[in-house]
Structure 1
């Protein structure tokens, strides 16, 4: 029996975040796509029995769960120094940089370690992270350069950016993520009338405007949400409310203040800090347009969500977003910060004012969303380890 051990520790983190969701989805797919006579095991830091039970419940089919003797913080520090032991020889896949990276003999012992780098933001935008996170990430990249057998990245854009930071040779593999299996409209699978009733109930609970522009992110400058708000204050910009998928504040900034400075009426900007996947799909599906203005990303997952829901997408020309879109979105140049809101406003006016263009973007986006699946990602991970 061949075993692939996946570091699932982020699933038990206090705030799992994007890597936690990625870990869960990928591991589920790896279990489902496991070749004959192959199994998937998990590796987790010393945690509570409730955390262990939660991981095993969310990963049905997991062969076993290896529990290290170190808690998460200590394990992270130990692996950064190459001090901690792992379950033994064999294949290890890390959905992040947290991995037992140390000297090993891949040929004779069969041990191999693959890690994942989701973006290069600690280099391009270190101000968005704590000093501890920046130092730990850079330290783990140095260990990956020495000891990782493969480095998975979500896009060719990240591969190119990473190559300018560290020489990893031919070990980098591009394997993109996909949408959650639970990202679907409320009542999916129910009879039409029951699904419609459930959707109406959720719409009432969410209190959405009848028409609105949708964006995602925080007021962190890199995310570009403030530029979208400023765009709606431009002369001739569409007179629609803005719904933000994200918190209503970042540091000392808040959406209401930024909207007021842009000349928008009170209440025109509404935030949804957290939504279930069903509610998120519903909010995506009802938007007149989805704007993803981020200046730098490793992948554009929210764009894929909008594509699947048939919503026209407007996005920046950040390399990873252009790659994710594959010509299915309306691209806006992000350089020249002062002119960015004006260009976003022009893009919104163009897309919302041209029904034929909007319909074409919906069709292109729907087609593009089919290019991403967890099954495909999992099969490529299995193939990667087989190649190693």
Structure 2
């Protein structure tokens, strides 16, 4: 029996977002796509019992869940310095850099490890992360350069950026994610929309107010959006104080921008599906999972020309050039073009849903299994 051990810690991240979704969806697909004679086991840092139950409930086909004696913080430090290996031997797949990267013998013992690097923000926008996180990312990339048998990235853009940082040779493999299976519109969508206070027309965006995400620029753009259409923000870390300051600086009326905070998957699906426009103004991105989710719901998308987003969208959205002081005005033009043209909005609806269908978790899992077979 061939065993693939998957590091599942990122499923338990306290803040919902791209990496927890990616980890859960990929692990589930790896279980479903396991070739004959292969099985999937999980590994997780020491956690409260309800967290273990969450993993086993979300991944019913998981053969075994290995539980470390170390908590996440201690295990992260141990792996950063090459201590503490996983039980057993064979294949290891890490959906992030949180991985036991150390010397091993792939040719004689069959041990192998693949890690995932989702972006290069620790280098391009270190101010978006804490100094400790930046230091950890850079240290783990160095360990990956020495010990990883393969590196999975979500886009060719990240692959190109990574080449400027570390020499991985031919070990880099591009394997994109897919829309989340948990973001389905529920049967009580109308009731949820009423509870959330969703207006008939609105622009939706996801992300905190920080420079690389461009949300502050989007808020300024709303001053030029027709018919006083409001902007609704979703996401953990959208601070009310920062939001109020950004709205005031943009000269917007109170209530023109509203913070929905963190939403359940069902509520997020409703908000995505009913938005007139989904705006993704990010100045730097490794893949663009929220944008792909909007495509999957048929919501017209206006996005920046960040290389990874151009790669993901492939002309399925309205592209806005990032460079220059008039970025907010260009964002407003893109949003207004959708709001004022029903034929354009309808065309983007169909193009977006078709584009989203290109990405599947089964396809991603098949590529991961093939990657480990190639090793």
TM range (shorter): over 0.9
Distance 1:6 1:146 in 2: 20
In structure 2, what is the equivalent of residue 92 of structure 1? 92
In structure 1, what is the equivalent of residue 234 of structure 2? 245
Q: Deviations over 1:237-285 (max 9, x none)?
A: 45211111225744x8522332222222111111111112221121111
Query: Which secondary structure state, in structure 2, belongs to the residue aligned with residue 302 of structure 1?
Result: helix
Distance 2:348 2:15 in 1: 35
CA deviation after TM superposition for structure 1 residue 45, in Å: 1.6
Query: Which secondary structure state, in structure 2, belongs to the residue aligned with residue 68 of structure 1?
Result: strand
In structure 1, what is the equivalent of residue 210 of structure 2? 220
In structure 2, what is the equivalent of residue 71 of structure 1? 71
In structure 2, what is the equivalent of residue 191 of structure 1? none
Distance 1:295 1:77 in 2: 31
Deviation larger for 267-276 or 160-169: 267-276
Deviation larger for 82-91 or 293-302: 82-91
In structure 1, what is the equivalent of residue 298 of structure 2? 310
Distance 2:90 2:77 in 1: 22
2:252 equivalent among 243, 264, 268: 264
In structure 1, what is the equivalent of residue 39 of structure 2? 39
Distance 1:218 1:29 in 2: 30
In structure 1, what is the equivalent of residue 172 of structure 2? 172
Distance 1:12 1:215 in 2: 24
Query: Which secondary structure state, in structure 2, belongs to the residue aligned with residue 69 of structure 1?
Result: strand
- With normalisation by structure 2, the TM-score equals 0.96
Distance 1:361 1:17 in 2: 25
In structure 2, what is the equivalent of residue 194 of structure 1? none
In structure 2, what is the equivalent of residue 279 of structure 1? 267
Change (3 A) 1:12 1:284: closer
In structure 1, what is the equivalent of residue 143 of structure 2? 143
In structure 1, what is the equivalent of residue 372 of structure 2? 385
Q: Deviations over 1:112-132 (max 9, x none)?
A: 000000100010010111111
In structure 1, what is the equivalent of residue 158 of structure 2? 158
2:276 equivalent among 272, 282, 288: 288
CA deviation after TM superposition for structure 1 residue 60, in Å: 0.5
- With normalisation by structure 1, the TM-score equals 0.93
Distance 1:261 1:14 in 2: 31
In structure 2, what is the equivalent of residue 300 of structure 1? 288
Deviation larger for 205-214 or 31-40: 205-214
Distance 1:20 1:216 in 2: 16
Change (3 A) 1:157 1:238: farther
CA deviation after TM superposition for structure 1 residue 157, in Å: 0.6
Query: Which secondary structure state, in structure 2, belongs to the residue aligned with residue 272 of structure 1?
Result: strand
In structure 2, what is the equivalent of residue 340 of structure 1? 327
Instruction: Give the conservation status (yes or no) of the 8 Å contact 1:307–1:362.
Output: yes
- Where does structure 2 lack aligned partners over 5 or more consecutive residues? none
- Where does structure 1 lack aligned partners over 5 or more consecutive residues? 188-197
Instruction: Give the conservation status (yes or no) of the 8 Å contact 2:153–2:175.
Output: yes
Distance 1:200 1:237 in 2: 26
Distance 1:30 1:356 in 2: 40
In structure 2, what is the equivalent of residue 190 of structure 1? none
Distance 1:253 1:169 in 2: 46
Q: Deviations over 1:191-224 (max 9, x none)?
A: xxxxxxx222112111111111112211111111
Query: Which secondary structure state, in structure 2, belongs to the residue aligned with residue 4 of structure 1?
Result: strand
CA deviation after TM superposition for structure 1 residue 178, in Å: 1.2
Change (3 A) 1:357 1:15: closer
What is the RMSD computed on CA atoms of the aligned residues?
1.6
Change (3 A) 1:13 1:270: closer
Total equivalences in the alignment = 375
Q: Deviations over 1:268-309 (max 9, x none)?
A: 111111112221121111111111000001111111111111
Distance 2:13 2:274 in 1: 33
Instruction: Give the conservation status (yes or no) of the 8 Å contact 2:126–2:134.
Output: yes
Instruction: Give the conservation status (yes or no) of the 8 Å contact 1:238–1:349.
Output: no
Distance 1:34 1:94 in 2: 16
